[in-house]
Homo-oligomer: A and B are copies of this chain.
Amino acid sequence: MKINGTPYRTIWPTAGNQAVEIIDQTKLPHIFATLRLENMRDTERAIRDMQVRGAPLIGVTAAYGVALAMRGNASDAALAEACSVLLASRPTAVNLRWGVEKMRALLTPLPERERAAAAWKEAARIADEDVAINAAIGKHGSEIIRASYQNKDGQRKNSTVNILTHCNAGWLATVDWGTALAPVYTAFDAGIPLHVWVDETRPRNQGASLTAWELGQHGVPHTVIADNTGGHLMQHGMVDMAIVGTDRVTARGDVCNKIGTYLKALAAHDNGVPFYVALPTPTIDWTLQDGVKDIPIEERTPEEVTHISGWCEDGQVRSVLLTPVNSRAANYSFDVTPARLVTGLITERGVVAADAEGMRALAI
């Protein structure tokens, strides 16, 4: 999508395919900076330190990481090491495993001398495939937004479609378009008047820093709110639908996403507001059923709760302590929204209900 009028992706090969470049997402929204990743360890660090984040982008970055590893040494041992290092960089994201295993499966049978070129080509193909998948999610999801704006005869029934989103499942979380925000961009570019309520998404504030930034750069009207606010807005008819992304969906449609998603789904359900989850189908983990019981929830450092960083009046990005020095904090990164609270899953193959029938349609 656009940054200050110029089209960008979140990851791209340098001229001559010597390295890949990314947007350093830890610096947003205050500083827009790109970063050059020269080797596999650079990609592992970028994933671990969340300079790239978002399930699809992590998968693509890992694929490029394998490709970078193959340039210097394409032995079986080097391939095994690259896969193992990259798989350990973030524990929860199923797309990370998917991207790495896809590379391993492709490269293992090839002779060493062919691996580097094949790996690079495959990583680029995975990136392009992500863009195509998200564009398709955008197309299907935008029809839901259009249906909220006008009826089938094209007559207007809503002056502005208000959409609530949580965390960042925008184009910054993918290679382009995003998952939850792909329908928003598609509908916006088609001229449908809309406005996005952006949950700030504590503790890492990906909503306030990333979602607000990318919507603003593309020109989409939006308002940042504290995570506590969505229920009140829904009680007062100020939200027409919620659309969120996901890190993992179980075979029965339970949705693991950023901590706090479950609370918004409860509020949507209590107020008759449609609650959609946008995802590429590889996000579905067919080995799991009961998400609340079966999905391990990543615990991150308490410092993400006790501290926050932002732009200080003196022009520095500074971290400040929010809590008493001796108070403990806990930092659970994800929660699970049971399928019963989800109105529909927006996928590249169309929109399905989060129930047995809908999941069967995606399993075929």
A266 vs B1: C-alpha distance in the bound complex, in angstroms?
37
Assuming the contacts A213-B324, A292-B235, asked whether A266 and B260 have C-beta atoms less than 8 A apart, the reply is no
For the complex, give the distance between the alpha carbons of A343 and B199 in Å: 28
**A266 lies within 8 A of B270 (CB):** yes
Nearest CB of chain B from residue A254's CB, rounded to whole Å: 11
Name the B residues within 8 Å of A335 (CB-CB): 228-229, 231-232, 235
Distance from A259 Cβ to chain B, minimum over Cβ atoms (Å): 4
The interface residues of chain B lying within 8 Å CB-to-CB of A105 are none
Q: Mark A299-331, 1 if CB is under 8 A from B, else 0.
A: 000000111111111000111111111111111
Structural contact, B297 and A322, CB atoms closer than 8 A: no
Q: Are A263 and B323 in contact (CB under 8 A)?
A: no
Establish whether residues A229 and B320, one from each chain, have CB atoms under 8 Å apart when the complex forms: no
23 contacts between A and B (CB under 8 A): A29-B327, A198-B327, A200-B322, A202-B226, A213-B324, A215-B327, A216-B326, A222-B328, A223-B329, A225-B305, A226-B331, A228-B258, A228-B260, A229-B332, A230-B263, A231-B335, A232-B335, A235-B262, A308-B322, A310-B321, A313-B318, A317-B320, A318-B320
In the bound complex, residues from chain B placing their C-beta under 8 Å from that of A320 are: 308-312, 317-318, 320
- Nearest-neighbour CB distance to chain B for A350, whole angstroms, equals 29
A11 at the interface (CB under 8 A from B): no
Chain B residues within an 8 Å CB radius of A297: 232
Copies of this polypeptide in the complex: 2
Q: Please report the C-alpha to C-alpha distance between residue A312 and residue B308 in the assembled complex, in whole angstroms.
A: 10
B residues near A213, Cβ cutoff 8 Å: 324, 327
Known: A263-B263, A266-B270, A270-B266. A323 touches B209 (CB 8 A): yes
- Per-residue CB contact flags for chain A residues 196-226 toward chain B (1 = under 8 Å, else 0) read 0010111101001100110110000011111
* Interface check A336, CB cutoff 8 A: yes
- Known A200-B202, A216-B326, A224-B327; further 18 A-B contacts with Cβ < 8 A: A29-B325, A30-B321, A205-B322, A216-B327, A226-B259, A227-B227, A229-B259, A232-B259, A232-B334, A232-B336, A233-B332, A236-B292, A263-B264, A263-B267, A310-B322, A312-B312, A313-B318, A318-B320
A278–B354 Cα distance when bound, in Å, is 38
Contact partners of A230 in chain B: CB under 8 A? 263
> Smallest Cβ distance from A240 to chain B, in angstroms?
16
Q: For the side of the interface on A, what is the size category?
A: 35 or more
Closest 10 CB pairs of A and B: A228-B260, A310-B320, A232-B335, A29-B324, A266-B266, A202-B226, A311-B321, A212-B327, A231-B262, A224-B329
By a CB distance below 8 angstroms, the chain B residues around A317 are 320
Evaluate contact between B312 and A310: CB separation under 8 angstroms.
Answer: no
Instruction: List B contacts of A330 (CB < 8 A).
Output: 223-225, 229
Residues of B within 8 A of A308 (CB): 308, 310, 320, 322
Q: Which residues of B contact A202 (CB under 8 A)?
A: 200, 202, 226-228
Determine the chain B residues whose CB is within 8 A of the CB of A224 once the complex forms.
305-306, 323, 327-330
Which one of A198, A228, A312, A324 has the highest number of Cβ atoms from chain B below 10 Å of its Cβ? A228
Q: Tell whether, in the assembled complex, residue B323 and residue A29 are in contact, meaning their CB atoms are under 8 Å apart.
A: yes
Contacts of A327 in B (CB 8 A): 29, 198, 208, 212-213, 215-216, 222-224
- Give Cα A330–Cα B224 distance, bound, in whole angstroms: 6
Interchain CB contact under 8 A, B324 and A232: no
Contacts of A222 in B (CB 8 A): 327-328
A200 to B33, CA, bound (A): 31
